[in-house]
Amino acid sequence: MAESSSYLEKFSGNEIHQRSYNTNPEKPGRWQNFKDSFKRVNVEDDIDPDLSDIERANLLTSKSPLKRKLKSRNITMIAIGSSIGSALFVGSGSALSTGGPGGILIGWTITGLAIFTTMQSLGELSVAFPVSGGFNLYASRFIDPSVGFAVAWNYFIQFLVLLPLELVSSSITMRFWNTSVNPDIWVLIFYIVVCSINMIGVRAYGEAEFIFSLIKVTAVIGFIIVSIVLAAGGAPNGVHHGAEFWHNPGAFANGFKGVASVFVTAAFAYAGVELVGLAAAESENPRRALPRAIKQVFWRILMFYLVSLTLICFLVPYNSDRLLGASSVDVTASPFVIAIESGGISGLPHVMNAVILISVISVASTSVYASSRTLTSLAEQGLAPSFCAYIDRAGRPLAAIIICNIFALLAFIAASNKEAEVFDWLMSISALSSIASWISINWAHIRFRRGLKTQGRSTDELTFVAQTGVIGSYLGGTIFVLVLIAQFWIALFPVGEKSSAYNFFLSYLGGVILIVFYIGHKIWKKNWILQIPSRKLDLDTGRREPDLELLREQLRQEKAFLRGKPWYYRFYRFWC
């Protein structure tokens, strides 16, 4: 601890601070304020040049001038709605056809368990260290800078590529209602919407995501209620299948390989849950908002995924022709639509298509947010061009947002007959990024706990302690490593297809890119360690509550307050 805090004492004052923006005694007008908001925040960088790269990165990311304007409800809805989208509404259909009802429930349940433990680990780290870059920086400070470099750049590429892909998806979604309009017109409309949301500021993003997530959550709850009625035999046309589809055509499709492929699909469907950790740096009160958001991930997994998919397994057979060969935004291939239409309810495809469109816009907006914040953090750490760290007076990472918006112009190939091939390869670059990020979160949490123990400290100084502990991190990390192995196997021997180098790299190119970034950083920085020794881990920089004794007293008072409450209140607070 002495080593990690020695340089902190030198910078405990105001060595890094923002200067006053307005020295003019006359109050400027609105137009002048608007123009001035785009000017760069003046941040003095007089950090001791003798500090190591990781020490410097820890200090700069902890002092990032990003605005802390995300409210508790914004954080909660980002956590709940971040991964509810076409992967659930439509993509689950391909998983059902590949793995069968038994395979889809096994895959989603085990992967959901790993996500739950991972989010608990992320919650402990992000509440303690709500720094710019979030979980990407945790890999650098608690594992090895090369791991952090590889994970962060792949995470940036993942969402950078996802942005134009989602804009193209929006044009495909609109074809459901209108096929005469040039697809690029729809791309332009939604491009302006997404760019505007993020250019206004983080509060606009938070409020937009709150509304988008609320609509998605309401839709899922509505579909669950309707599906329960249908599964219970209340279909207007009198159709009632019961457990028929579990016997004919059966519980599993394509045997063990089919189940293995469902694990891969489930992992991609959960992508985005970690965004709540990235948003920690811009939360008004991460100590209050993040624990509640992290805990509610469990209920989202239970209700939105497992309950809805269980009901679908009773209503749609895995050999349905409508599940095969459809795109991720083909509303007619949604198992939800198939289930309800087979029950005699008409008009649902229009509602579902609208929900998918909202989900696509939500993911596109989130892509700008995630990629811009990740790139800014990389620049603050000296791992990306310095101009990418440009943050204006409104707290917007302006340079990074502009870079993301420029790359999004690639979406205007929507009218080209080569769009599918281009985006297949772009997605292959970052296909494994989320899984790599989840593994790094669990690994960083294990190293953080090891650092506490080695330096004679304990979890008593933490505002939020992962309910699953270090065991949960080992479990979650192991499951995701097995998912990577399963993906490697499926990439070599695809279900129902012949093996080929083309299909392998289309599925596993992201793993190759990850290794290249890791080795490239090792050579660039001449960093030949595998892990930072636990006695040298920095356990203090970036904390919002630097006074540990005061924090411990506050925690004791909060625990005493809870002990005085009824059991049902304590039960609710434990889980929610």
**What is the reported pLDDT for 9?**
42
Packing angle of the helix pair 433-454, 255-269 (nearest 10 deg): 70
Q: Phi, psi (5° rounding) for residue 43? A: -120, 120
Report residue 60 as tokens: 């700069």
Sign of CA dihedral 438, 440, 446, 452: negative
Q: Are 329 and 360 in contact (CB under 8 A)?
A: yes
- Which helix (H) or strand (E) segment holds residue 348: the answer is helix 348-380
In the prediction, which pLDDT does 208 show? 92
Q: For the chain, state the CA radius of gyration.
A: 24
Contact 355, 216 (CB under 8 A): yes
Written as one letter, the residue type at 211 is I
**Residue with token string 């007293």:** 553
Short-list 195, 212, 216, 511, CA closest to 352? 216
Q: Which regions in the chain score pLDDT beneath 50?
A: 1-24
- Rounded distance, CA 477 to CA 134, Å? 18
Rounded-to-integer distance, Cα 345 and Cα 354, Å:
17
- Cβ–Cβ < 8 Å for 154, 515: no
Write out pLDDT tens, residues 167-176.
888 888 888 8
Q: Which domains does the chain have, with CATH numbers?
A: 64-487+524-545 (1.20.1740.10)
392 - beta bridge partners? 40
- Buried b / exposed e over 429-454, threshold 16 CB at 10 Å, is bbbbbbbbbbbbbbbbbbbbbbbbee
Contact yes or no for 234/464 (Cβ under 8 A): no
Predicted local distance difference test score (pLDDT) of residue 73 = 83
Contact 169, 478 (CB under 8 A): no
pLDDT at residue 151 in the model: 93
Residue 392: what are its φ and ψ, rounded to 5°?
Answer: -85, 180
Predicted confidence at residue 152, as pLDDT, reads 92
Cis omega (within 30 of 0) on the bond before 183? no
pLDDT of 460 reads 84
The structure tokens listed for 4 are: 């990690």
Q: What pLDDT score does 7 carry?
A: 40
- DSSP secondary structure string, 272-322? TTTHHHHGGGGBS-HHHHHHHHHHHHHHHIIIIIIIHHHHHHHHS-TT-GG
- The C-alpha atoms of residue 513 and residue 530 are separated, in whole angstroms, by 19
Residue type, 327: S
Asked if residues 109 and 102 have their Cβ atoms less than 8 Å apart, the reply is no
| 283 three-class SS | strand
* Integer CA distances (angstroms), 468 to 114, 122, 123, 489, 574, in order: 11, 11, 11, 30, 12
pLDDT value, residue 47:
64
Rounded CA gap, 403 and 405, in Å? 5
pLDDT of residue 90: 78
